[in-house]
Structure 1
């Protein structure tokens, strides 16, 4: 179920997303009896699935990863990368794996779709996630869907649980950043056409640029310190949900409700 993507990818392209997943979702993976992660639409080469296994096992050593691709030739070509804990299957948004995954990562997959198709894709994928357990305090599985540039310097993703969207994360290589609104070109499909006056994501990036400009004196201490100061000021008006430990990585995470399209 789905459309074949262009399949272009590069080693280490999704490192920022993987690092965030391991830090934020690692405890859920560690608590799961049989932690399962899915790399949906890994592309013409399975490097991202291989890297996801390595990075997640650093946080949750029992994690298994299944790479899912709709193009049969790509699945066949990935066979040489099989190893304990890593498998490849043909499929799409139906996510043809046994059980309910604790994680589905879909990077640069929905960018080729129309905006009105995003909600349906999200709903199908969220329905495949491991359910939440309110009594036990388990938030359930996580869908991470977003877009990055070709070498992974700039990345924006939405994190969703079984109940729907939770947060939006902006991540960048700070040394390459001119201003935060440079990240607008990597907004996921649900938001990229909403970066116009009157929409929340446009107002957020406008305010982020202003905070970045006001933090210019901190640039003498390095781009990281300037980013931390800008995010700290931004958090006075926007629901930032992380803290300095993540900001130091060139990240900031905001509640979805604050940036969601008005309609």
Structure 2
């Protein structure tokens, strides 16, 4: 066997940490999973405990009861610790960015994996992972806080990045730019004047401030109002059904880092 590609993460994990990402995947990617002959998902770098992998299986099966999930970890001790949790449709395997499974997966989820890498490494890792996807497959790569209140992820297909999604527990959000600390590695160092992500978060904060009167109705109504205003200047790819969940998804090209 060849050595797995990548390095071990810190392993931090908590139950329900990735619920916002999973909920979005099941809703948005569910139709593509249902079109697969064998819908298989990979939870890449699940950490020291397999809780989020078990949860991914349960949530994907709300979209398609045939879904199978493979947890992949570069640390063999973590794989051994997860083996007792295996059951029908759920398995754990030693590996890394090479994704050592067949057939190719319809989904790869890589949450809180790339934060320890350099920004310059991201494009090659994305390309490697996207190259392992089945036709029509999806890579979801992003970062969240320790208990899943704030989360930002990039969705990619075999052709590269498509969208960026921002998701939050609205009751704990002072302003949208609080999500900046959870930007994926491809964007977190670009949150500076002159970069699109900085302009987006600036405009989002302004729309949030203008929508302040709606806070008397609920944080959700304030978010929806702010996002609707934001959509006049930024290409959003979702609608109020997702906004009500405390999410907003933006086309990648609008937020992609400037060269240099």
TM-score bucket (shorter structure): over 0.9
- Residue 77 of structure 1 pairs with residue 81 of structure 2: yes
Structure 1 residues 13-52: aligned runs within 5 Å: 13-52=17-56
The match for 1:212 is 208
TM-score of the two chains, using structure 1 as the length reference: 0.97
Aligned to 2:157: 161
CA distance in 2, matches of 1:217, 1:76: 53
* Partner of residue 235, structure 1: 231
Q: Which residue of 1 aligns with 2:258?
A: 262
Paired residue for 2:14? 10
Unaligned 5+ segments in structure 1 are: 132-139
CA–CA separation in structure 1 for the residues paired with 2:81 and 2:58 = 20
Unpaired stretches in structure 2, ≥5 consecutive residues: none
Q: Counterparts of 2:214 and 2:12 in 1: how far apart (Å)?
A: 38
5 Å matches for 1:176-187?
176-187=172-183
CA shift digits 1:31-87 (9 cap, x unpaired): 101000000000000111100000000111100000000000000000110010000
Measured in 2, the distance between the counterparts of 1:58 and 1:20 equals 12
Q: Distance in 2 between matches of 1:260 and 1:15?
A: 26
Question: 67, 89, 94: which one pairs with 2:93?
Answer: 89
Residue matched to 1:57:
61
Distance 1:222 1:64 in 2: 38
In the TM superposition, structure 1's runs of 4+ consecutive aligned residues that sit over 2 Å from their partners are: none
Q: Aligned partners of 1:241 and 1:231: how far apart in 2?
A: 12
User: What residue is the counterpart of 2:184 in the other structure?
Assistant: 188
Q: Name the counterpart of 1:112.
A: 116
Alpha-carbon distance between aligned partners in 2 of 1:51 and 1:80, rounded to the nearest angstrom: 16
**Secondary structure, counterpart of 1:5 in structure 2:** coil
User: SS state of the match for residue 245, structure 1?
Assistant: helix
Match of 2:138? 142
Aligned to 1:136: none
What TM-score comes out, normalization by structure 2 length? 0.98
**Once the 2 structures are TM-superposed, how far is the Cα of residue 100 of structure 1 from its aligned partner?**
1.1
Residues 218-257 of structure 1: CA deviation (Å, up to 9, x unaligned): 1110000000000000000000110000000000000000
CA displacement 1:13-36 (0-9 Å, x = unmatched): 000000000000000111101000
